[in-house]
A and B are shown apart, each in its own frame.
Chain A
Amino acid sequence: MDYKLTWQEYNKSLKKDKLMGLKCNDCGNITCPPLMVCAECAGTNLEVIQMSGNGKIATFTTSYIAGEGREAELPYTIVMVELEEGPWIMGNLVAADPKKLTMDVIGKSVELGSRVFPGDKYSNGDMARPAFSIIE
């Protein structure tokens, strides 16, 4: 059985600021990022859809340490965003000053863009990542 929405396809779309997901035609649940099956009912009657890319910040952190090779990115802000369609995804927040973020940022509306992590010696090539901006 084929994987309906592979990481390669998801990644290719994300680089163009398009977030892809899966809609379950049995239970209606949306799965994003993709899995082999519906995250809710484990069914395989899935259809690839484009997500709106809009959501709200569920939680955040600004990091001052990074794994080897990524120190130049510091400090950076990681967020988990509750997407309009329901699921949460992890991404970065493009903030003017990541050091000044407070709890008030939780709940803010965001829209999706993307950036590319060029990869390191352990990763299998480069990888897109969601980069969210706050909608004022």
Chain B
Amino acid sequence: MRRVAVIGTGHSKFCFNSPKTSLEMLAEVSLDAINEANITPKDVQAINVGNVLGPFEEGQGMIQSFFANDIGCFNVAASRFEGACASGSMAVRDAVMWVASGYYDIMLVGGTEKCTAMGTGLATRTFAMYGDSRYEFPSGFTFPAVFALLAHLYAKKHDIPLAALKEQMAAVSVQSHEYAMKNPNAQIQKPITKEDVLKSFMVSTPIQLQDACPFSDGAAAVVVASEEVAKKLVKNPVYFAGIGQASSGKLSSQYKYLPRIYARELASQQSYKMAGLTPQDMDLCELHDCFSIAAMIAAEGLGFFEHGKSGEAWLNGETKIGGKIPINISGGLKAKGHPIGATGVSQVYEVTRQLRGDMADQGRQVEGAKYGIIDTLGGDGVLLSMIMTNQ
């Protein structure tokens, strides 16, 4: 298989109530990515798009073909990927496979979503469609409830008093807000304190509003190309060193492993193995912090901390720039925002920019970073892992 690189990037500001349509947001960031890659829309051979709830948000299904036409990629093959919050990462991974195989040389990958167009009630209902509709939704399944169940289970399994766990969870949110203030694309740009988190609205015990990411609108795009083509077009290609994807069944069916997510551990092992690297080799990480407890479970599943110990790591600053492993220096889903179809592509954008050394101006560059890992969780069952490098 050939090496594949990101050669162009685009990212909208993530926000509440975007005045633009999903297609318009995606078109803008895609032209940014195409321009940065020194190509034109006519050079794009195929398109992958992550978009989850277009039919509910704007009454728009099959956005990919209208999008291809809109940006002048007339008549090229365009595919939509739907794996809940991991849709964008699925779209990227699939494009990497196509280019690696030699079938295409240049592909455009985008993700877009207008979650806030649904309002909180419908958004909560439609997100719950990514749990099991027959055996778990009847009990009142929502995603805050899923991670709340896991939080209580985590406290029990690791014998951490709930009050102590809540402080650890709060530290995750506080750090994300801190870095989001340096990210002009972030949806939430205000600091919060541990006290703010602990006094926020109780969503589903023990998860409070400030343990949770917001509903968001936004888009991101990248151009990927084969190594040979990439080197001709840009000076600073960033390569995919490893990719992994795994699936799991309904939440209760994962009982032998919970609160760990077995499919995540499989997906990340695939990407470490393909890259020939270990967690110790990683210089930064963008992981799926839809809830503070989700970030902690992810950091352990990716191999950065012992199970039950990541909360202490956040409290001790080991997850900041200069710490053991800088995590979510973008502000994460918590504060950068989480337009679900765009999230995975946004993570690739972030890691690419870090590995190019582009973040110094924003005061959040991980100096000398060579390897970054991306982790995305979709619903109850799609887990993605990707390792990128500038080497």
Contact = CB atoms under 8 A, between A and B. Distances in A.
Interface of A: 7, 11, 33, 35, 39, 58-71, 73, 76, 78, 80, 82, 87-92, 101, 103, 106, 117, 120, 122-123, 127-130
B274 interface: no
B203 A60 contact: no
B134 to A, nearest CB: 5
B162 A103 contact: yes
B359 interface: no
B145 to A, nearest CB: 5
A11 B133 CA distance: 13
A128 B134 CA distance: 9
Of the four ranges (under 10, 10 to 19, 20 to 34, 35 or more), the interface on chain B belongs to: 35 or more
Contacts of B153: 58-59, 80
Contact of A61 (B134, B137, B152): B152
A121 B320 CA distance: 45
27 contacts: A33-B135, A59-B150, A59-B153, A61-B148, A62-B204, A63-B148, A63-B203, A65-B120, A65-B124, A66-B124, A66-B142, A67-B125, A67-B142, A68-B125, A69-B121, A70-B125, A78-B140, A80-B252, A87-B252, A89-B252, A92-B139, A101-B205, A103-B152, A103-B155, A106-B152, A122-B125, A128-B138
A92 B140 contact: yes
A115 to B, nearest CB: 9
A54 to B, nearest CB: 16
Nearest to A60: B152
Interface string B128-172: 110001111111111011001111110110000010000000000
Contacts of A120: 125
A78 B145 contact: yes
